């Protein structure tokens, strides 16, 4: 599967090696050596995938990711993170990254992640779960002035007059919860449904982190959640009185 890929990496040796490897897989590779060049390149064209180093001169990879997600929720992003900066992984996922590899990594691992992301994108959505649940539709949690309005198509949550953005992963996880509303969704179900590699690259802690951020956006009191509840030893549940998507609510 040939694709146009933007590779952003400031280390010349690694940039050349990765660029050659991706080109060897048949991809059209455009490279950038720093944050400013990456932003300019993103403004000048479209890409099927962004391979993005977190630590860059100029705007960091996370700043680039944040800017991209403000206007583009669809393009898959694979982060390159340093083992000494574990927090970058969680923040990157929160900002909308689709996957990451930790330096030093095996070239075969990176190429496998690239292939998986491109395959998911080719079937319609980088966040489309393997079980067929696509983040689409509008629905509300609650009624009246206290209702939480969710638009999965626009990746938005409206609560108390404020609008908050959902990351692609958060939207996909919420879509899974909605499809199974009133039932327990296990962590393994989230991993299999939302992550391109079936969750092999992440673990339960990543699921819990995403659910924490979802609660912060949906709940009046995230520590005493009303809508996304924890079923200890099993998983999470969207409470059954949440109406289904596409029920005609504005």
How far, in Å, are 18, 53, 196 from residue 35 at the CA level? 18, 9, 26
> What phi, psi does 18 have (nearest 5°)?
-70, -40
As given in the structure block, the two tokens for residue 248 are 């005609």
> What phi, psi does 116 have (nearest 5°)?
-65, -45
User: What CATH number labels 4-122?
Assistant: 3.40.50.2300
**Which residue reads 């490897």 in tokens?**
21
- Could you give the 3-state DSSP secondary structure of residue 92? helix
The bridge status of strand 49-53 relative to strand 77-82 is parallel
As given in the structure block, the two tokens for residue 210 are 């995403």
For the chain, domain boundaries: 4-122, 138-238
Q: Please, which residues have CB within 8 angstroms of residue 124's CB and are 6 or more apart in sequence?
A: 134
How far, in Å, are 3, 72, 205 from residue 30 at the CA level? 11, 19, 34
Sign (positive/negative) of CA torsion 70, 88, 50, 151? negative
**Which residue reads 């289904």 in tokens?**
244
Which residues of the chain are under the pLDDT cut of 70? 1, 84, 121-136, 196-203, 240-250
Are 133 and 124 in contact by the 8 Å Cβ rule? The answer is no
How far, in Å, are 20, 44, 62, 63, 64 from residue 58 at the CA level? 25, 18, 11, 10, 10
- Selected from 1.10.760.10, 3.40.47.10, 1.10.10.10, 3.40.1190.20, the CATH number assigned to the domain covering 138-238 reads 1.10.10.10
Question: What's the CA dihedral at 157, 141, 162, 90 to 10 degrees?
Answer: -40
pLDDT for 249? 37
**Which residue reads 């403004």 in tokens?**
43
pLDDT for 169? 82
pLDDT for 5? 96
27-59 tens-digit pLDDT: 999 999 999 999 999 998 899 999 999 999 999
Cα–Cα distance measured from residue 217 to residue 221, given in angstroms and rounded to the nearest whole number: 10
Among 233, 210, 234, smallest CA distance to 222 is for 210
pTM of the predicted model as reported, rounded to 2 decimal places: 0.58
Residue 75 gets the label, from left (phi > 0), alpha (psi -120 to 50) or beta, of: beta
pLDDT for 84? 66
């Amino acid at each position: 599967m040939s694709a146009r890929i933007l590779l952003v990496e400031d280390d010349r040796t690694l940039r050349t090696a990765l660029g050659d490897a991706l080109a060897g897989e048949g991809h059209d590779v455009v490279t950038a050596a720093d944050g400013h060049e990456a932003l300019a390149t993103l403004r000048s064209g479209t890409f099927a995938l962004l391979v993005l180093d977190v630590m860059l001169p100029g705007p960091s990879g996370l700043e680039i990711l944040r800017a991209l997600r403000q206007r583009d929720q669809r393009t898959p992003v694979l982060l390159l993170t340093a083992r000494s900066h574990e927090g970058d992984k969680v923040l990157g996922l929160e900002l909308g990254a689709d996957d990451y590899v930790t330096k030093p990594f095996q070239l075969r691992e990176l190429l496998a992640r690239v292939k998986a992301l491109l395959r998911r994108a080719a079937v319609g959505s980088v966040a489309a779960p393997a079980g067929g649940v696509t983040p689409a539709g509008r629905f509300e949690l609650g009624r009246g002035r206290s209702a939480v309005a969710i638009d999965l198509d626009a990746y938005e949550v409206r609560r108390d007059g404020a609008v908050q953005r959902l990351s692609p992963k958060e939207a996909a996880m919420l879509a899974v919860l909605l499809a199974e509303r009133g039932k327990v969704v296990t962590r393994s179900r989230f991993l299999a449904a939302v992550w391109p590699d079936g969750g092999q690259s992440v673990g339960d802690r990543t699921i819990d982190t995403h659910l924490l951020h979802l609660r912060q956006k949906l709940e009046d009191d995230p520590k005493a959640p009303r809508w996304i509840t924890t079923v200890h030893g099993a998983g999470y549940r969207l409470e059954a009185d949440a109406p289904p998507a596409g029920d005609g609510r504005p």
